[in-house]
Amino acid sequence: MTTNKILKTLEELSESIGVSGFETPPRKLILKEIKNLVDKVWVDPLGNLLAVREGDAKHPRILLDAHVDEIGFIITHVDKRGFLRIAPLGGWDPRTLPGQRVIIQPHAVKEKYPSPVFGVITAMPPHLTSAEQRKKVIPIEELLVDIGVTSRDEAEEMGVVMGVPLTVWQSFKRLTDDTLTGKAFDDRVGCTILIEVLRRLEEAKNRVATVVFNFAMAEEVGARGARTGAFTLEPDVALALECTTAADIPGVPEYKSPTRLGEGPAITLADRSMIAHPDVVSALKRVGEKGKIRHQIKKPIITGGTDAGQIHMTRGGVPSGVVSVPSRNIHSAVSVIRLSDMVAAVDLVYGFVQTWKE
Ligand SMILES: [Zn+2]
């Protein structure tokens, strides 16, 4: 049953569009799921969805954070023939973009355009390119988006103007019972895990600690919402829930893949934004070992960062850690993850909430 709820929530969140700074649609879905599970919930001035579930005031206040935004683009120019130029919001691999379908969201800028608009990132036909050109990666500023119109006016009538956000469109699919693929798993996977942790706290009538939540905006452009959200929520300890890099595929030596699919959620030791607090790391490992919850340690490759990078430097400092679900193809159009890794992440985080007393 738990897995059915996780799947349904993840599918809905994955297919919803919420590029950094324009997170309203997925935020509304999350609000709908959590409003009856928390004592207080509100949207802060930047667009974070913050929530408090009261517990025993003698216990530390635990922050659970996952970011709502996904990587995408913003329209920088619409030319006379109605072709769009775009700039990235977040870190795309430009090699993965030509030939992709995109979904454009005029509604994020002007409410009078409720329908999304679809488009295609143009790929020059191989018949017309030289062997040399085909080896070259096209920079994002040189890509064109074709929305099927013939003029700038026609694009404008659909609400497609400078400043409108868009992202690559892919539907959610189950590859096997346990293997899932879809867009925006980074970090709707984290959001889904937090919703499931809340459901479980409610089912168990668990009020051990006060748990505060930040469904954060704008992580992909520098963990901006995590910083302000943590300041408001004043936690004593924090966990960021993430989707992280797995490169456990043929041709990549084992030592180069930070995590592996199917081996449980990954506990971070260090990345570019933070050295995880050793007490938080040991507490997570203890929960995993005692509860026989499958988990792995992410190889401390000092690249990438998470919301915890900002959270741990808030106010007087917050001991923080990161738990993440391994994902292949991260920061491309579609990711590949394992449902069992998500379920184990819920177990691990729930166990942490129950036992953290430092
Ligand atoms: Zn992320």
- Which pLDDT tens digit goes with each residue over 58-74? 899 999 999 999 999 99
Average of per-residue pLDDT values in the chain? 93
| Region(s) of the chain under CATH 3.40.630.10 | 2-70+183-355
User: Token match 């895990």: residue?
Assistant: 193
CATH number for the domain formed by residue range(s) 2-70+183-355: 3.40.630.10
The stretch 277-305 carries a mean pLDDT of 92
Residue in 15, 33, 3, 356 with CA at minimum distance from that of residue 194: 33
Distance 356 CA to ligand 1 centre (A): 24
Q: Which CATH number fits domain 72-168: 2.40.30.40, 3.40.50.2300, 3.30.70.20, 1.10.287.3510?
A: 2.40.30.40
Distance 203 CA to ligand 1 centre (A): 28
Quote the CA–CA distance of 301 and 308 in Å, as a whole number: 16
Of the candidates 11, 23, 70, 219, the residue annotated as catalytic is 219
The tokens for 297 are 């340690």
| Region(s) of the chain under CATH 2.40.30.40 | 72-168
Residue 125: predicted pLDDT: 65
How many C-beta atoms lie closer than 10 Å to residue 282's C-beta?
Answer: 13
Residue in 319, 337, 299, 60 with CA at minimum distance from that of residue 176: 337
Instruction: Please state, for a pLDDT cut of 90, what percent of the chain lies above it.
Output: 78
b/e burial code for range 145-178 (CB count within 10 A of at least 16 → b): bebebeebeebeebbbbeebbbbbbbebeeeeeb
Quote the CA–CA distance of 358 and 345 in Å, as a whole number: 21
Residue 270: predicted pLDDT: 92
Residue 332 clears pLDDT 90, i.e. is over it: no
Residue 108 clears pLDDT 60, i.e. is over it: yes
Query: Is 154 tagged catalytic?
Result: no
What is the torsion angle, in degrees rounded to the nearest 10, for the CA atoms of residue 291, residue 297, residue 303 and residue 305? 10
Distance 342 CA to ligand 1 centre (A): 15
Residue 254: predicted pLDDT: 84
Distance 67 CA to ligand 1 centre (A): 7
24-34 and 185-203 helices cross at what angle (nearest 10)? 10
Distance 139 CA to ligand 1 centre (A): 23
Distance 196 CA to ligand 1 centre (A): 18
| Strand (E) or helix (H) holding 231 | helix 224-233
Residue 129 clears pLDDT 80, i.e. is over it: no
